[in-house]
């Protein structure tokens, strides 16, 4: 409905004022800094203009490119894991007949979202510690299994981090997919059953296509959120055995706050925003957003 | 035929129930670890013993003069930012949903871009801006920052909501002489109320649990709960007991809120967000 | 549309929103109502003799009503400051705001504050390995030479090594390889060394006594004997020792202890110009020793490469490990039954020494400095003097290893801190790490390679050559 020109502006002003002032201006500050040679130890280095040097260094920095790859691996594994488990849980709860159980499950499954990510990361650290102190290892020892060194090898450390983040992310996936399942009218399922389409077949031919739009938008949103993951990696593995879990955000953080290369870190942050934006732009074309 | 079908049905139900309970148990295990650790005597904190004498020592250890202040700070900041987010995201999401204007697509992309910003990227600029504006260590600094961050999420959620509210109702109201704003307040918001509740609660939860922004924008006076709890990571080791106790206490408000609108979370999300 | 559904949700929604806005408004109102009254500027002549000042100090400085903001790590020092700060506040008529931050977040916040035009901290609590190299070389804190001269402040009671290592910096230098320098940037408050905590009951079982002069050969034997499978289930229940070998900065710190005991003090990580100097035999011997701990002698678990500092102390406290390296201030807490259930069977000894007779220990500590962008520098100086005074350090002796010689030798203090004698021995041979702002990155990179070697993933020569490569790459930037 095209009406008064002023209306959209008024409505949007409040929200975008906040976003622009707090986030976009901060972004611009970072952007400007990324062209300087700001090294925390060099006095006045924030006024030195170095052009694209920081970006050039980033291109050749093997640790940075490695961290990008690690980020992608992490996101890929996480998305697959979280979507599968979330979908499984949603289907499970949807198929439950006892109303009380449904309510209980719905409530309890949203609890992990409410725990501070710092705290839950510490809990996962405690659970997966090597030696007898780790909770999981202690459980295993009751069954006579030797303690496993979860954090020792790159692959399993990545697994632990994926699990830790999944614990926080699955409730969200579950909620959305469960809601999507609720929306599907019951007669669709009933007529499918009459036609003899049950179980796995029903899943494949009926449920999944109906869920597809929800899953698509969910994937994008989760991917963007996963890109920002920091707490589990920082607390559980600190970058992991030999950089195995050093994701891009962790490396950017370290360059700024541990090594003091602020300008370089700003350049990396710019790149870190660019990549998901480009990916979103590409995928948004296929999904009505 | 009918009988065996019913038996198959109930067998299937039992199987599903068992699977659901098992899944819940596994999923809730870390939570179980946290809660038991909070009530264990301090010396047993990290040991996985299941039989113990429950004690409130951890809660006592966790409590200090600062704790009440941090709790109040967290409450104020979280509700303040939730309130602001709700108000502004309603307006903005409505506009994005109903109005067609130039630059709409770009605004959407811009919002997504801001969403993808990792916190580390703007911690320093935020501090500089906030301390220059003189609102360091006040509630406003934290509230404003969190509002901006949570708005991106809320706008995404609410936009789908408003999309699902049938336009005909609004059109008829406008024909009857209702202004745009009136339509928004009297018709669209009530219809999308579940979604708004969801957005408000999520925004509250995100602000409540936020650490990175809190540590930069708060100081002595406005310290929030997550910053307070992070102090249990001492140089002589992580104090697991008090930390677990703190986590248990900090979950309570969010849990209560979530229980209150529990019905609406699912209904709310199903009304629009799922349509993609 | 279900009318009832509509009615409920609308009301609930509106109530919720109104409530939230109400809470927020009440909060804002409360805040402004409880703001402290505006500072009243009062000229006053104060004559005080506070602990820390060596003479009656008369000043016409305008202090009353001011607020001093101090950034302290949330440790024992923080607790003591909170306990005793009222004494300072009353004497000067000021308010002290202490922002106690945990280790994670402390230096980030301090850096942001120090770098801003108007910071939030007047006094900062600085750590020698991460904060001091950056703050001192970038000149982010105030040089104190003029203050010391003006007040004729007596520095002779401080441990010379503490002053040289934790406070002094050569003028205009970017790096400082050996302690010392002409500019004084802080006053040392905590001096610590790496010590070994060991279980006396397990030692006695194996037929040993805690001693301060173990060599590496002795220690390896002892650790092997302490590693036991107590309940016969085929798994080791108690390990002889746990050596932190995580990839990154912390792992390198621990390795450096062993390295220096083999003679590494002569060849630091790099020289003045960041040329790597670690390609030598000391490196090889020390790395091999650490790896052999689990590989050859079975005295430590294989997963020491996943241990971060703090975790090893946890393992010791849970009884899974019989000995652990720790800093003296951590060691102090291990002797307290409140924090460690094995406190009564824990002994603190000097860590094992290498073939050169040098124990594998290092010197480290914390100082208090005044922020360069502080607006209350004189008051901050008073505070620094007070908090590092003899009286305060005596009070803090139970939890904070002091930086004053007289406190170490005080019999009262020695009673509450029985590890003092070991520390004095440790200080004699302790290595002082080189300080440079690039060290954080270099140690991180080197640590990753060394940890990979210790864990058995790569071979010795490869680890060393890759570490040297990493140092060269970082130095080139």
> Within 10 A of B147 (CB to CB), how many other CB atoms are there?
27
State the smallest CA–CA distance between residue C111 and chain B in angstroms.
10
Choice between C333 and A92, residue whose per-residue pLDDT is larger: A92
Distance CA B176, CA B182 (A): 11
Residue with tokens 């002595």: B220
Q: Are A96 and B17 in contact (CB under 8 A)?
A: yes
**Nearest Cβ partner of B190 from C6, C98, C101?**
C6
d(CA C256, CA C241): 17
Q: pLDDT for B79-134, tens place per residue?
A: 999 999 999 998 888 888 888 777 787 888 788 788 878 887 778 788 888 877 87
- Taking the C-alpha atoms of residue C242 and residue B110, their distance in angstroms, rounded to an integer, is 51
Burial of B106 per CB tally in 10 Å (0-12, 13-18, 19+): exposed
Q: How many other C-beta atoms are found inside a 10 Å radius of the C-beta of residue B99?
A: 19
Which residue out of A64, A102, A114, A279 would a mutagenesis test of the B interface target, given it has the greatest number of B Cβ atoms within 10 Å? Answer: A114
Query: Which has more confidence, C152 or B160?
Result: C152
Residue of A nearest to B233 (CA): A122
SS3 breakdown of chain C: % helix, strand, coil, rounded to 5? 45, 15, 35
Could you tell me which CATH number the domain at C194-362+433-476 has?
A: 3.40.190.10
Chain B partners of A122 at a C-beta cutoff of 8 Å? 238, 240, 243
Cβ atoms C245, C454 nearer than 8 A: yes
A52, A54, A55, A57 alpha-carbon torsion, rounded to 10°: 120
Q: Tell me which chain A residues have a C-beta less than 8 angstroms from the C-beta of B135.
A: none
Are B84 and A11 in contact (CB < 8 Å)? no
Given pLDDT bands bounded at 50, 70 and 90, which one contains residue C232?
A: low
Q: A147 vs C305: CB contact, 8 Å cut-off?
A: no
Cβ atoms of C356 and C263 within 8 Å: the answer is yes
| CATH of C46-185+364-429 given 3.40.640.10, 3.40.190.10, 3.40.50.720, 3.40.1280.10 | 3.40.190.10
List, as one string, the DSSP characters of A68-102: HHHHHHHHHHHHHHHHHHHHHHHHHHHH---HHHH
Q: pLDDT band at residue C28, thresholds of 50, 70 and 90?
A: low
Q: Which domains does chain A have, with CATH numbers?
A: 40-284 (1.10.3720.10)
Q: Is the pLDDT of residue A88 over 80?
A: yes
Query: Which among B131, B139, B219 has the least Cβ separation from residue C116?
Result: B131
Please judge whether B193 and C10 are an interchain contact, meaning their C-beta atoms are less than 8 angstroms apart.
yes
CATH fold label, B57-275: MetI-like fold (1.10.3720)
Which of B89, B142, B189, B236 to probe by mutation at the C interface, max C CB count within 10 Å? Answer: B236
- Give the closest residue to B114 by CA, choosing from A79, A286, A15, A168: A15
Q: Residue C52 — left, alpha, or beta (φ > 0 → left; ψ -120 to 50 → alpha)?
A: left
Tokens of C301: 């678990």
A79-107 average pLDDT score: 88
Query: For residue A136, what are the CA distances in angstroms to A123, A125, B22, B49, C237?
Result: 11, 10, 17, 12, 16
Q: What is the 3-state secondary structure (H, E, C) of B104-172?
A: HHHHHHHHHHHHCCCHHHHHHHHHHHHHHCCCCCCHHHHHHHHHHHHHHHHHHHHHHHHHHCCHHHHHH
Q: How far apart, in whole angstroms, are the C-alpha atoms of residue A147 and residue B230? A: 29
Sort out which chain A residues have CB atoms less than 8 A from B36's CB and list them.
Answer: none
Q: What CA–CA distances, in Å, run from B198 to A14, B260, B276, C25? A: 20, 11, 17, 22
- Alpha helix (H) residue ranges in C139-280: 145-151, 160-166, 200-206, 216-226, 249-261
pLDDT for C46 beyond 70:
no
**pLDDT computed for residue B235 by the predictor:** 66
Considering only CB atoms, B48 lies closest to which of A19, A110, A138, namely: A138
A188 Cα to chain C: minimum distance (Å)? 22
Q: What is the DSSP string of C145-179?
A: HHHHHHHT---TTB-HHHHHHHTEE-TT-S-BSSS
Q: Which helix (H) or strand (E) holds C327?
A: strand C323-327
Concatenating the DSSP letter of every residue in A97-164 gives --HHHHHHHHHHHTHHHHS-HHHHHHHHHHHT-SSTTSHHHHHHHHTTPPPP-TTTSHHHHHHHHHHH
For residue A185, the 8-state DSSP code is -
Q: What is the CA radius of gyration of chain C?
A: 26
| Cα–Cα nearest to A11, from B162, B81, B172 | B162
* Residues in CB range of C251: below 8 A, 6 or more apart: C244, C245, C305, C447, C450, C451, C454
CA atoms within 13 Å, Cβ hemisphere of C377: 12
Residues B126, B213: Cα–Cα separation, whole Å: 9
**Using one digit for the tens of pLDDT, what is the confidence trace for C372-407?**
999 888 889 989 999 999 999 998 888 788 899 888
Tokens encoding C249: 């900065």
Q: Which of C292-306, C331-345, C362-376 has the highest mean pLDDT?
A: C362-376
Q: CA A246, CA B233: separation in Å to the nearest integer?
A: 22
| Touching chains, A (3+ CB pairs < 8 A) | B, C
Query: Is the pLDDT score of C177 beyond 90?
Result: no
Query: Element (H or E) spanning B209, and its range?
Result: helix B193-209
What pTM was computed for the model? Answer: 0.83
C437 contacts A41? CB cut-off 8 A:
yes
Q: Do A40 and C301 touch (CB under 8 A)?
A: no
Length of chain B: 276
Residues A198 and A207: their CA atoms lie apart, in Å, by 11
| Least confident interval from A139-143, B150-154, C4-8 | C4-8
ipTM: 0.83
Is the per-residue pLDDT at A256 higher than 70?
A: yes
Q: Are A235 and A122 in contact (CB under 8 A)?
A: yes
Interface B–C counts its CB contacts (< 8 A) at: 127
Cα separation, A25 vs A277, whole angstroms: 18
What is the full DSSP assignment across C296-310?
Answer: TS--S-GGGGG--TT
Contact C396, C368 (CB under 8 A): no
List the structure tokens of B111. Answer: 């919002």
**Is B234 within 8 Å of C102 when comparing Cβ atoms?**
yes
Region(s) of chain C under CATH 3.40.190.10 = 46-185+364-429, 194-362+433-476
| Min Cα separation B197/chain C (Å) | 6
Query: What count of residues does chain A have?
Result: 289
Mean predicted confidence (pLDDT) in C411-423: 81
Q: How far is CA C402 from CA A196, B264, C74, C257, in A?
A: 81, 59, 17, 21
Burial class of residue C425, CB neighbours in 10 A (0-12, 13-18, 19+): middle
pLDDT of residue B236: 64
Tokens encoding C198: 């060991």
Neighbors of chain B with 3 or more C-beta pairs under 8 Å: A, C
Beta carbons of A107 and B260 less than 8 angstroms apart = no
- pLDDT tens digits along B199-250: 888 899 999 998 888 888 887 788 899 888 888 877 666 788 888 888 899 8
Computed over every residue of chain A, the mean pLDDT equals 84
Mutation test of the interface with chain A: which of C115, C240, C306, choosing the one with the most A Cβ atoms within 10 A? C306
Confidence of residue A67 (pLDDT cuts 50, 70, 90): very high
The greatest distance separating any two alpha carbons of chain B, rounded to the nearest whole angstrom, comes to 78
What average pLDDT score do residues B164-176 get? Answer: 79
CA distance C184 to C180: 9
Dihedral of CA atoms A229, B122, B212, A40 in degrees, nearest 10, equals 110
Structure confidence at residue C3 (pLDDT)? 42
C314 and B220: CB-CB below 8 Å? Answer: no
pLDDT at C40: 41
pLDDT, tens digit, 9 for 90 and up, residues A11-51: 888 888 888 888 888 888 888 888 888 887 777 777 778 88
Arithmetic mean of pLDDT, A214-233: 85
């Amino acid at each position: 409905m095209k009406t008064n020109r002023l209306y959209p502006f008024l409505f949007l002003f409040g929200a975008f004022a906040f976003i622009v002032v707090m986030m976009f201006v901060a972004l611009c500050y970072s952007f400007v800094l990324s062209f300087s040679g700001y090294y925390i130890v060099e006095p006045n280095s924030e006024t030195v203009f170095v052009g694209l040097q920081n970006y050039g260094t980033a291109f050749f920095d093997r640790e940075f490119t490695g961290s990008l790859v690690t980020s992608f691996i992490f996101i890929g594994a996480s998305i697959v894991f979280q979507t599968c488990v979330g979908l499984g849980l949603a289907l499970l709860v949807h198929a439950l007949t006892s109303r009380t159980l449904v309510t209980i499950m719905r409530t309890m499954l949203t609890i992990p979202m409410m725990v501070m990510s710092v705290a839950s990361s510490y809990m996962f650290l405690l659970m997966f510690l090597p030696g007898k102190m780790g909770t999981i290892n202690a459980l295993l020892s009751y069954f006579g299994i030797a303690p496993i060194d979860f954090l020792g090898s790159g692959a399993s450390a990545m697994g632990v981090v994926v699990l830790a983040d999944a614990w926080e992310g699955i409730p969200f996936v579950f909620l959305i997919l469960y809601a999507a399942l609720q929306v599907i009218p019951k007669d669709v399922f009933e007529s499918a059953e009459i036609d003899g389409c049950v179980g796995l077949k029903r899943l494949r031919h009926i449920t999944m296509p109906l869920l597809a739009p929800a899953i698509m938008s969910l994937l994008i949103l989760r991917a963007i959120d996963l890109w920002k993951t920091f707490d589990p990696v920082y607390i559980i593995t600190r970058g992991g055995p030999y950089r195995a879990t050093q994701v891009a955000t962790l490396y950017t953080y370290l360059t700024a706050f541990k090594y003091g290369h602020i300008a370089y870190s700003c350049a990396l942050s710019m790149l870190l925003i660019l990549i998901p934006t480009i990916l979103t732009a590409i995928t948004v074309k296929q999904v009505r957003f | 035929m009918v009988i065996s079908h019913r038996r198959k049905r109930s067998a299937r139900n039992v199987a599903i129930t068992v699977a659901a309970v098992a899944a819940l148990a596994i999923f809730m295990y870390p939570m179980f670890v946290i809660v038991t650790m909070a009530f264990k005597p301090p010396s047993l904190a990290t040991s996985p013993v299941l039989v113990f004498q429950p004690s409130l020592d951890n809660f006592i250890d966790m409590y200090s003069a600062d704790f009440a202040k941090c709790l109040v700070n967290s409450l104020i900041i979280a509700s303040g930012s939730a309130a602001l987010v709700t108000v502004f995201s309603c307006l903005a999401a409505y506009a994005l949903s109903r109005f067609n204007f130039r630059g709409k697509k770009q605004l959407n992309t811009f919002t997504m871009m801001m969403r993808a910003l990792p916190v580390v990227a703007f911690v320093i600029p935020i501090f500089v801006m906030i301390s220059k504006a003189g609102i360091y260590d006040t509630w406003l600094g934290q509230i404003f920052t969190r509002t901006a961050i949570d708005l991106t999420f809320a706008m995404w959620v609410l936009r789908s909501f408003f999309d699902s509210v049938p336009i005909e109702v609004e059109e008829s109201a406008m024909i009857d002489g209702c202004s745009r704003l009136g339509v928004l307040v009297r018709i669209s918001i009530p219809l999308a109320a579940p979604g708004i509740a969801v957005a408000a609660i999520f925004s509250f939860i995100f602000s409540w649990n936020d650490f990175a922004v809190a540590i930069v924008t708060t100081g002595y006076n406005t310290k929030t709960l997550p910053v307070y709890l992070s102090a249990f990571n001492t140089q002589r080791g992580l104090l697991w007991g008090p930390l677990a106790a703190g986590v248990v206490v900090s979950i309570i408000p969010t849990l209560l809120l979530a229980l209150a609108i529990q019905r609406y979370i699912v209904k709310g999300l199903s009304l629009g967000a799922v349509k993609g | 549309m279900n009318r009832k559904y509509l009615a409920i949700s609308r009301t609930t929604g509106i109530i919720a929103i109104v409530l939230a806005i109400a809470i927020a408004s009440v909060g804002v109102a409360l805040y402004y109502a409880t703001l402290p009254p505006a500072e009243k500027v009062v000229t006053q002549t104060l004559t005080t003799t506070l602990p820390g000042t060596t003479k009656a100090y008369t000043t016409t400085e305008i202090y009353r009503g001011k607020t001093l903001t101090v950034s302290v790590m949330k440790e024992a020092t923080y607790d003591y400051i909170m306990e005793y700060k009222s004494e300072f506040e009353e004497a000067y008529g000021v308010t002290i705001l202490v922002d106690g931050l945990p280790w994670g977040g402390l230096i980030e916040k301090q850096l942001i504050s120090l770098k801003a035009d108007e910071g939030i901290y007047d006094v900062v609590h600085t750590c020698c390995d991460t904060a001091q190299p950056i703050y001192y070389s970038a000149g982010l804190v105030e040089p104190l030479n003029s203050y010391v001269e003006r007040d004729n402040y007596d520095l002779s009671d401080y441990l010379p090594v503490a002053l040289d290592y934790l406070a002094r910096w050569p003028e205009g230098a970017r790096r400082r390889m050996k302690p010392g320098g002409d500019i004084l940037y802080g006053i040392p408050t905590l001096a610590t060394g790496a010590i070994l905590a060991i279980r006396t009951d397990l030692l006695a079982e194996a037929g040993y006594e805690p001693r301060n002069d173990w060599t590496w050969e002795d220690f390896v034997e002892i650790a092997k004997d302490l590693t036991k499978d107590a309940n016969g289930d085929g798994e080791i229940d108690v390990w002889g020792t746990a050596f932190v070998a995580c990839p990154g900065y912390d792992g390198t710190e621990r390795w450096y202890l062993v390295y220096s005991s083999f003679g590494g003090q002569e060849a630091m990580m790099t020289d003045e110009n960041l040329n790597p100097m670690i390609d030598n035999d000391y490196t090889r011997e020390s790395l091999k020793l650490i790896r052999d701990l689990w590989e050859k002698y079975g005295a430590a678990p294989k997963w020491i490469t996943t241990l971060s500092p703090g975790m090893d102390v946890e393992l010791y406290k849970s009884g899974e490990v019989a000995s652990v390296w720790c800093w003296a201030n951590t060691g102090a807490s291990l002797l307290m039954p409140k924090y460690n259930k094995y406190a009564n069977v824990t002994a603190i000894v000097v860590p094992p020494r290498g073939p050169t007779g040098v124990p594998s220990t290092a010197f480290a500590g914390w100082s208090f400095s005044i922020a360069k962008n502080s607006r209350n520098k004189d008051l901050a100086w008073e505070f620094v003097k007070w908090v590092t005074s003899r009286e305060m350090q005596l009070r803090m002796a139970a939890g904070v290893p002091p930086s004053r010689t007289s406190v170490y030798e005080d019999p009262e203090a020695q009673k509450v801190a029985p590890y003092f004698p070991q520390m004095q021995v440790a200080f004699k041979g302790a290595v002082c790490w080189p300080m440079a702002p690039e060290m954080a990155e270099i140690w991180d990179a080197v640590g990753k390679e060394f940890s990979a070697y210790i864990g058995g993933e790569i071979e010795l020569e490869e680890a060393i050559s890759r570490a040297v490569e990493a140092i060269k790459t970082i130095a080139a930037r």
